[in-house]
Amino acid sequence: MPRKAREKILYGTYLITQTSGTDQSLFRDDEDRTAFLAIVRKVKEKFDFHLYGYCLRADNEYRLLIYDNGSDLSKIMKALNIRYAMYAKCQGKIYKDRYKSQLIQDYRELMETAQSVYGKDEHCAWSQFSALLQGEKISELLDPIPNQEAYHPYWIEANESNQVCDRKTPLCERGGTCHRSRKEVEAALGQQAKERGTTVEAMISEKEVRNEMIRRIRKESTLSLRAIGQIFGLSESAVCKIINC
């Protein structure tokens, strides 16, 4: 049975939770935690995401509050986890399962999640979240959480873009291919991957290829934005933004 696609949007904020394997600890000591944050810094420089908070207090778990800033969350986490696994050099499986990602839906949830990640001990070096001051950067690693006025318009724009997208984009162009179910679309994607000598998952992992697939599906199927998003693990607003680009 295929794994359920993660809920993702373009320019989304997520709470990431990663746990260790049964017989392993992610962090043996504070030296490991320091090394992990150094790796986070390098991956952050590569993908240009924003880090709003982190919690490394537990030996077998880490939590990060990340704004992807348009980068692919899966690629960010793959780079981070592979680099840390190479550093740890554990015998056996260092991670229990895939990381868990919780999409933050609004500003209130963002603040509640930040408080949860930060915890009650403000003096703990391994649990921090960024200052709630617009434009003020409190460290080289953490980024300022935007205020409510700066954060809210994105969601208004996303909701409005869905309506615009539905009005201006045709469902199945005349005389062309027309898939009328998700099953038909997934079969077509499978055939396309076979012809390219690759897999659907590999095609989706390439941003430009994925976006072209989404635009083509919109023109050649009757699927809703939600249904298309479910195939690719994206929200309706993210699908619409891709179509309108």
- What pLDDT shows up at residue 76? 95
Residues 6+ apart with CB under 8 A from 236: 162, 224, 225, 226, 229
pLDDT digits (tens, 9 = 90+) for 124-153: 667 777 754 444 455 678 888 776 655 654
Residue 10, both tokens: 């373009």
- CA–CA separation, 35 vs 30, rounded Å? 9
- What pLDDT shows up at residue 158? 41
Tell me the residue type at 158. A
Q: Is the pLDDT of residue 51 over 60?
A: yes
Full strand arrangement of the beta sheet holding 13-19: 100-103, 13-19, 61-67, 50-55, 127-129
Beta strand 50-55 with 61-67 is: antiparallel
- CA–CA separation, 116 vs 73, rounded Å? 21
- What pLDDT shows up at residue 77? 95
Domains of the chain: 13-146 (3.30.70.1290), 169-244 (1.10.1750)
> Of 227, 225, 230, whose CA–CA distance to 242 is shortest?
225
Total-model pTM: 0.59
Residue 65, both tokens: 């509050």
- CA–CA separation, 178 vs 185, rounded Å? 9
